[in-house]
Structure 1
């Protein structure tokens, strides 16, 4: 039986506070995005329509705002709406924890729309550029979840070689769990990155790459939720699905619709 290493959540102690690993993983996520998006902006099909390093920097700025604001609001109102409606002042307390990927995604989409309006660029032109650059950031943040020993998995068979005991779960002796944070890092992070990066190497119809991202993330997250312990204040919802699964299913449907629309609308590949 493995036991979670119980990492110190503070990477660098400074006085009574310090720099948290979770914050570092977000910085790594943004750094990886900047590097990968810069590489993609230099590809002939993107450079030909005027993408520059400054454009990538500005997209990152809008994206960071979307992740932080959308992620926090998504957590508050997707997962604990009744509590935060009664405690509005606590919404800004990001340092207390609580971020939602689905809320962050909505925030990023709004940021891309605003960026496109200011730079006179089509929404899917922007989203197709950045979609393959997002999964590595997801991977980094999921590793941060693992370091913190949070968002652990559901109980696993005792003979599963990588099953792990999470002391934070306060389980009875002998209960081991799936390290679902690592499953998500590998699936929604590494695997989705490989799929999108390879798919985007060839010219694609505008919108197709974005559609593949939505379908891929939604499907991989949906599967991962079967191994992740549901939030104790929510439990399982209708059909014994978690809140994360109910939020991921629309992503698959919308992604499929975008892909079908892009394929039908574009008779020849124009984007990669």
Structure 2
């Protein structure tokens, strides 16, 4: 028997709200991405004031980083994960609104931007690397939570009754495929059963627009054949709803308050919330880095904090990749996925910095 704590059915809309008058949708991901930089900017104001630097320089630093991270992350995704496609279709590289950002590419862009900033504003490269490291993980926490709101970068199946059933794709399939529908929701439990671990019973509740009535006889083919076939043939759906050819998919038609409803019993596939793992890890790393900087900034050698940041960040990324789906199918044919291979040299870079700049030295406040 399942309990409310066993798994979560996750199906929020990627759109947060629509701007009145112009009909422009504001998406969770874009808002959280921007919020990450805004919060990080406020933290950097505080850091600059504490270290007797000009807070106005933070505005220029933010501009450098926003441009570099977005461009670097986009180019990184295009060149690391699917270079043949994007080199053959270069115009597609500019379609950033369609998704596709790689944190490794963003990191490379950040290093270049900070080098240029340090040269122009009279600080050492190591000094600015140490300070930006503190807020970088904070931005990462916001971005990964945005991925969670988008139901993207999903984790692997947990193989148990615990985890997240990402149901947004199922909801979109019904709403876009049947204009008679008013809403789609989900409930735990139902008649669908399985002897296999990692499958949980859920119910898809279809609410039809007022005035729509379904005839049980004429609807039988739709619910017993069309819907099971649609769930099975779409990869984006079969990752989250389990179905095998010939498998029974019970359903029920009923009315409530004069509105027609249909309830379909299916099996959901709980998955690891890899996005939340990374978001929480980033918050934890921010607290550690901020604590070390606040209490030891006048003694730490320049470069050590950056090395510590790199070591933690790419260790976390390497480990969490074991719980996430590969971004491209070809990654299944290599021992480690692309994210892990790219994390190794960055981790070693961090270790090198920690070893080289290990220890304390007296400095003026």
In structure 2, the partner of 1:181 is 275
Q: Which residue of 2 aligns with 1:235?
A: 331
Residue 16 to residue 4, structure 1, CA distance change in 2 (3 Å)? farther
1:123-166 deviations in Å (ceiling 9; x for gaps): 11111122111111111111100001011100103233xx1112
Contact 1:206 1:271 in 2 (8 A): no
Quote the offset at 1:232 in angstroms: 3.7
Change over 3 Å in CA distance of 1:4–1:136 after alignment to 2: farther
- The structure-2 alpha-carbon separation of the partners of 1:166 and 1:267, relative to structure 1 and needing over 3 Å to count, comes to closer
In proportion to residue count, which structure has more helix?
A: 1
Select the residue among 39, 49, 70 that pairs with 2:46: 39
Distance apart, 1:21 and its partner CA: 1.0
Which of 37, 48, 54 matches 1:30?
37
- TM-aligned CA deviation for residue 3 of structure 1: 4.0
1:184, 1:17 → 2: CA distance? 30
Which SS does the other structure have where 2:16 is aligned?
strand
Tell whether the 8 Å contact from 1:79 to 1:234 is kept in structure 2 after alignment: no
Is this contact kept in 1: 2:10–2:165, CA < 8 A?
no
Largest Rg, 1 or 2: 2
TM-score by length of 1: 0.90
Aligned to 2:283: 190
Q: Does the C-alpha gap of structure 1 residues 84 and 269 become closer, same or farther in structure 2, counting only changes over 3 Å?
A: farther
Q: Which runs of 5+ in 2 are unaligned?
A: 1-5, 170-235, 243-266
Which one of 9, 15, 19 corresponds to residue 10 of structure 1? 15
CA distance in 1 between counterparts of 2:60 and 2:362 reads 27
Query: How far apart, in 2, do the equivalents of 1:186 and 1:152 lie?
Result: 15
The corresponding residue for 1:165 is: 165
Name the CA distance, whole Å, in 1 between partners of 2:7 and 2:157: 13
SS across alignment from 2:18: strand
Q: Structure 2 vs 1, CA of residues 269 and 244 (structure 1 numbering), >3 Å: closer, same or farther?
A: farther
Structure 1: runs of 5 or more not aligned = none
User: Where does 1:110-121 land on structure 2 (aligned, <5 Å)?
Assistant: 110-121=112-123
Q: 1:176 to 1:206 in 2, by over 3 A?
A: same
Question: Would you say how many aligned residue pairs link Structure 1 and Structure 2?
Answer: 261
1:269, CA displacement in angstroms? Answer: 4.7
Q: Residues 4 and 138 of structure 1: is their aligned pair in 2 closer, same or farther, counting only changes over 3 Å?
A: farther
Conserved 8 A contact 1:206-1:270: no
Q: CA deviation at 1:197?
A: 1.1
Pair 1:128–1:199, CA change in 2 (3 A): same
Residues 76, 70 of structure 1: CA spacing in aligned structure 2 closer, same or farther, 3 A cutoff?
same
1:257 aligns to what? 352
Matches within 5 A, 1:1-272: 1-14=6-19, 15=22, 17-43=24-50, 46-47=51-52, 51-160=53-162, 163-167=163-167, 168=169, 169-170=236-237, 171=239, 172=242, 173-187=267-281, 189-201=282-294, 202-203=296-297, 204-236=300-332, 238-239=334-335, 241-263=336-358, 268-270=361-363
TM-score with structure 2 setting the length: 0.68
